[in-house]
A and B are shown apart, each in its own frame.
Chain A
């Protein structure tokens, strides 16, 4: 695995009003790395994820992608976002477009690919997330797990440098969690750079190169999954793990 820094956050701070949601965040995600961010709710992990493609602005600090600082707005920002895939908790598929149209929209309108080429590639990706037979349905006709797999295909269609997953399984019925995690595990093993905010500890153990533990807007601990889960150093992490692993 190469260790070129792809996403770098330096001294990032953000407030929501009086609430200091991100405190002096330093984080480097290397190319090909899978970083799983965990922590109690309200710890700022989703916000952290969303700052990387500037769905959330930051108050201070620097975020760079592939060595380039994030543009504040306009076309430069749009171009940057096309390099950063995003998968949301609530799927956020375009309700008025079919599965296939959801996947081809970005390639056609942003990457200016031809329709035929974009559709061929989209079908490959839908095959890969095991949902090609639903290509002509609308999102509302699919289950949550199916919708989320389409959302992953939509992100992949842009050939992103990194994909951000913001609690991708939190809105799913339990029996659908696995099908989404399977797709994500495949991606991880194929070398996709991923930042994953999740409560799925099994996935973190299995697929992550590194676990980042956040609490109260700070990165409290960073380690390999093995080290982190068997031997957490901080009290906050010990406390958190004891709460989620005992039941």
Chain B
């Protein structure tokens, strides 16, 4: 245990990358998820089609494949670079892969939320003369979002854990589980305490997230 604790700054550093990956990917996937949802709700068949194909396609692809495509396909094989240093280059590719993947789940949650809004409210907004985007922005999405705060929390938790895939799927991104593996490989501390230590780290990140989203979903719920 002491051997593990004496390496605690490596653990903290690993988790700091996990948090960075999670927060940036969460933000991007949220924005992309809203965009996809808007497209799927739009009256334009082409936009609906593109968004549906995207969501269904990426959602049915294992995250490992998505990240491998970003790392080996786009980054290594095609040589698309996003940053000067390798460390940041793979970091941003991981962010893109995670966001592209997670956005599908954000979008599906939001779509479920939209389905709970009575059609009458949408008609009322229309009859006031609101345009489609105003209707979406002012009436539909605010209520849909409040309804799916809980499910979005689950998506965020899944994303937090999914960051661990980024280091094994060809990208070698710095994050907690990679740090753990390095510590195993280098034999700096016994396996069991190291394992438990990192598992605890994830618990410390994820449990409060879950409680926070539960609290938030009650607080912002729309009474009907």
Name A's B-contacting residues (CB within 8 A): 53, 55, 73, 75, 78-86, 88, 90-96, 105-106, 109-110, 138, 140-141, 151, 154, 158
CB of B13 within 8 Å of the partner chain: no
CB atoms of B124 and A92 under 8 A apart: yes
Could you list 11 examples of A-B contacts with CB < 8 Å? A55-B123, A78-B129, A79-B129, A82-B128, A88-B120, A92-B118, A93-B121, A94-B139, A96-B146, A106-B130, A110-B134
Is chain A's binding surface mostly helix, strand, loop or mixed?
mixed
CB of B125 within 8 Å of the partner chain: yes
CB atoms of B128 and A158 under 8 A apart: yes
CB of B143 within 8 Å of the partner chain: yes
Complex Cα spacing A154 to B121, Å = 13
Interface pairs A-B: 7 shortest CB-CB = A82-B129, A92-B120, A106-B128, A86-B127, A92-B124, A140-B223, A110-B129
CB of B87 within 8 Å of the partner chain: no
Q: Which of B117-168 contact A (CB under 8 A)?
A: 118, 120-121, 123-131, 134, 138-139, 142-143, 146
- The 8 Å CB contact of B223, one of A80, A81, A84, A95, is A95
Which chain B residues border A91 with CB–CB below 8 Å? 120
Quick one: closest B residue to A102, CB to CB? B124
- The 8 Å CB contact of A75, one of B43, B131, B138, B222, is B131
Measured CB to CB, the closest approach of chain A to B5, in angstroms, equals 49
Measured CB to CB, the closest approach of chain A to B222, in angstroms, equals 5
Which chain B residues border A94 with CB–CB below 8 Å? 121, 124-125, 139
CB atoms of A110 and B139 under 8 A apart: no
CB atoms of A92 and B123 under 8 A apart: yes
The size of the chain B interface, using a CB distance under 8 A, is 22
Is chain B's binding surface mostly helix, strand, loop or mixed?
helix
Quick one: closest A residue to B120, CB to CB? A92
Which chain A residues border B126 with CB–CB below 8 Å? 55, 78, 81
CB of B219 within 8 Å of the partner chain: no
Of B43, B134, B138, most buried by chain A (CB within 10 Å of CB) is B138
CB atoms of A109 and B142 under 8 A apart: no
Which chain A residues border B130 with CB–CB below 8 Å? 78, 105-106, 109-110
Measured CB to CB, the closest approach of chain A to B36, in angstroms, equals 22
- The 8 Å CB contact of B124, one of A75, A80, A86, is A86
CB atoms of B142 and A96 under 8 A apart: yes
CB atoms of B131 and A78 under 8 A apart: yes
Which chain A residues border B142 with CB–CB below 8 Å? 96
